[in-house]
Structure 1
Amino acid sequence: MRRIEVGGASPYVAQVGPGLLSRLTVSETPVALIHPADLPAVWVERAQASLRPLLTVEVPARDECKTLEVFADVLSQLARAGLPRSGAVVGLGGGAATDLAGFVAASYLRGVAFYTAPTTLLGMVDAAVGGKTGVNLPEGKNLVGAFWPPRAVWCDTDALTTLPEAVFREGAAEAFKHGLIADPSLLERVASPEFRPGGALLEDTLADAIAVKAGVVTRDLTEQGERAYLNFGHTLAHALEAVTHQAIPHGEAVAYGMHYAARLSHALGGADLTRHTRAFLRWQRPQPLPPLTFGDVAPFIARDKKADSAGVRFVLLRNLAQPYLARVPEDVLRREFAGWQADLGDLWPG
C-alpha cells in the first residue's frame, strides 16, 4: 500500500492499495454515505459494513448527479435524518459523486467532515485529492462549489476490477496529463499493458500520478497560481462536455482537449508534443465527436474558470513538465481548431 501526504492548512493522507473499503474508519459519528446508482453493490456493501452509516443516499450516475436539484435533495435527506454537525459525509464512487458529496459536506450545517473513497481511476487521480467540490450549471462545468478538503482519501484498487475497460482508459487521461505537466515517466507507464487492474504497474503508477496533484494542491489549494496547470487540456474539454450535453465522458474530453492544447503550445513556440497526445488518443480510443465548428465551442471556452477580465487563458507547455498560462489570439484558436479536427480525421478515417 502507498500513502501520499497532502499538506497545506488541513493536511490529510491519500492511501492507495487493495482492500481499503473493507477497513474504512472515521473519527466522527454518525456518517452519511453518498454513492451513485451505477456503483456495483459489492463496493457499497463493503463501505456500509465498515462505516455503519446513519443513512445511505443513492444519487444519479456520472454527471447527472452534479446538479443543484440533486444537491438540494441530498441536503434535505441529511436534514430529515438528523445528521448532526459532529457527523461526517463519505463520498463513494466516481469523481462526479465525490464532487457532489464534498459540496454537500461543505454546505450542510456550514460544513461537516468529509471523507472520500473514489472507485474509478478518474476519481482517484483527479477528483479525490485537492478539495475542489461542486456541481455544474447549464452554462458550464463546475461553476458552483467550494474548496473543502477531505479528512482522508481511500483509493481501493480492488474497485477498479469492476470497471469496464473503456471507463478505465477514460480515467487514464488525468494520469497522462500529470505526465505531461510534471512527471514524464508517467507517459510510458500509463500506456503499458501492466497499467491495468491487477497489473504490476497499477499501484505505483496510480500513486505517482496522485502525488503530482498532491504536491500542486499542497502549494496552491485555491488555484491562485500553480494549481491552474492541472487544467491542461480542460478548457476545450469542458466546452466539448457542455456542447454535447455531457455525452462525451470527462476523461475522453480531456484527451481531446490535451491534443488541442498541445497544438496551441506548438503554435506559440513550444516544443511539438503532439506525438504524445496523438499516441494517447490512439491508446484510449475515445468515442467520435459529433460535427462541431469553432463557433459551437467558443461561448463555452469564453466562460472557462481560468478566464479573467482580460480574456481566456490556456494552460500550455513549453516542453514536457514546463507548463505556463497564456492568452491565445482568436485567429490562432480558430486555425488550430481546424488543424485539430483534421488530426482527428487522420486518427479515425471515415
Structure 2
Amino acid sequence: MNASSPTTIDVTLGERSYPVWIGRGLLGDSTRWRARLRGRHALVVSNTTVAPLYLERVAQGLAGLAWASFQLDDGEAHKSFANVERVLEALAKLGATRDACVIALGGGVVGDLAGFSAACWMRGIDFIQMPTTLLAMVDSSVGGKTGVNLPAGKNLVGAFHQPRAVVADIDTLATLPDREYRAGLAEVVKGAAIGDEPFFAWLEAHADALAARDEAAVIEAIARKVAYKAGVVARDETEQGERALLNLGHTFGHALETAGRYTTLLHGEGVAVGMLLAARLSERLDMSAAADTARLQRLLVRIGLPVAIPPGMDAEQLLALMRLDKKNTAGTLRLILWCGIGKAEIVAGVNENDVLAVLREATA
C-alpha cells in the first residue's frame, strides 16, 4: 500500500460530499489533499504529542500558503471553550478569510475542537481531518460532528460541520501507544455490533491479527467501519433517526468518562464498557440473548479492552450523568439498545430503575 493507491470511501452529501483516503504515506502526499484547500490561509491545529512527529510532513504540503500552527496540550480535558477561543485568536492573527481552511492533525480531541472552531469562524470555513489515531480514523473524523466538553458533561456543545476531506494515514499508527490503539478498536466493534453481523464475525476471526496491528487487517477494518458509517451519515446527517444508533454504549460510556474526569478511561474504553452495559440492559429487557452479551464480551477481551466499570464509581452518580445525555427527550432516558449482534434500536422512556439495577450490579 502506498500513497498513490489508497483505499477511497466517499461520504455522499450532495455538494458537501468528500473523500476518505485510507493508506500509507498520505500526509506527505500533498498533491492529493492540497487540492481540497480553496484559499491562501491555513491553520494546522494539533497537539504537543502529535505535532513533533507529523507537523513537518503537512508543512511541506503548505508551501506557498500563509499558514500557521496551533498546538493544544494532549488529552480530553483540553477539549474546551478556552482552547476554541485560542484557535479563533490564531485564525484572527493569521488574517484568515472566509476561504481559509483549518487542518485537524491529531486524534478525536483535536478533530472535534478544530472542526468546531472552523464552524464558528466567520460562520463556517473549510476544514480537513488528518486523524492520527485509530479511534479518530474509524469514527470521529467522519460525519461532521464537532464540539467541546463542559464540566457538566461531554460534547454538550457542538455543531454539524462536514470536512472537505479525511486523510487517514496509517503510518501514524506506528507511534500510537497500545492502549490508544485498542481503544480505537472499540469503535470498530461498535459498528459491527449495531449493523453488520458478518463484519462482527470477521472481527472475531481476525481479532488476533488486529491486536497485532497486521497492516492488511487494520486497513480492512478501517475501511469497513468507515464505509458503514458513511452510509449512515448519508442517510441521516444530523442524527434525526438512524445515525443515533451509532451511539450504542455512548450514554453509559460518556458518563463513565465524565465520572473519571476524562483521565480514568479513554473514550474507546468508555465505549467498550458502555456497550457491554447496554447489552446487559437489553438482555434485562428481554430484547437480546445472554449468548449475544457473552459473544460481545469475549471479543472485547480478546482485543484487550476493559469490560468492567473502574473501581470507586457510584451507580447513582453515573445515572445522574446519563440524564444529561443529548439523546434524552422530555426528561426521560433515550438509549441505544440492541436486539442481538448486528441489530440495534432507539428506545425512549427507558425505566431508570432498570438502568440503575444494571449499574449497581456492575459496580458491586
Count how many residue pairs are aligned between Structure 1 and Structure 2: 342
1:243 aligns to what? 259
- 2:208 aligns to what SS in structure 1? coil
Q: Of 313, 317, 323, which residue of structure 2 is paired with 1:292?
A: 313
CA–CA distance in 1 between the matches of 2:314 and 2:119? 38
Identify the match of residue 192 of structure 1 among 193, 199, 207: 207
Equivalents in 2 of 1:263, 1:198: separation in Å?
32
Whether the 8 Å CA contact 1:259–1:340 is kept in 2: the answer is: no
Per-residue deviation, 1:188: 4.6
C-alpha distance in structure 2 between counterparts of 1:127 and 1:199, whole Å: 21
Provide structure 1 residue ranges, at least 5 long, that are not aligned to the other structure: 343-350
Equivalent of residue 23 in structure 2, options 10, 17, 36: 17
CA positional deviation for 1:290: 2.8
- For residues 271-322 of structure 1, give each alpha carbon's deviation from its aligned partner in whole angstroms, at most 9, with x where no partner exists: 2221133213423243971312211111110010110114111101112221
TM-score, reference length from structure 1:
0.93
Deviations 1:208-249 (A, max 9, x none): 011111111110011100010000000010001111110111
Q: Could you tell me whether the CA contact under 8 Å between 1:89 and 1:113 is conserved in 2?
A: yes
Distance 2:187 2:82 in 1: 28
Q: Write out per-residue CA displacement over residues 84-142 of structure 1, whole angstroms, 9 at most, x where no aligned residue.
A: 11211110100110000100111011111111110000001111000000100011111
Note if 1:201 corresponds to 2:217. Answer: yes
Note the aligned Cα RMSD (angstroms): 1.6
Gapped regions of structure 2 (runs ≥ 5): 1-5
What is the aligned partner in structure 1 of residue 87 from structure 2?
A: 74
2:330 partner SS: coil
Tell me how far apart the structure 2 counterparts of residues 205 and 233 of structure 1 sit (CA, whole Å). 20
Residue pair 1:130, 1:214 contacting (<8 A) in 2 also? yes
Q: TM-score, normalised by structure 2?
A: 0.90
Secondary structure, aligned partner of 1:271:
coil
Q: Which one is further off, 16-25 or 52-61?
A: 52-61
Partners of 2:11 and 2:255 in 1: CA distance:
30
| C-alpha contact 1:63 1:246 (8 A) present in aligned 2 | yes
Q: Tell me if 1:109 matches 2:122.
A: yes
State the partner residue of 1:266: 283
Shift of 1:40: 5.6
What is the aligned partner in structure 2 of residue 257 from structure 1?
Answer: 274
| Paired AA for residue 274 in structure 1 | T
| Residue identity in the other structure for 1:253 | G
> Contact between 2:194 and 2:338, CA under 8 Å: does it hold in 1?
yes
The code of the aligned residue for 2:179 comes to A
Aligned to 1:157: 170
What residue is the counterpart of 1:234 in the other structure?
250
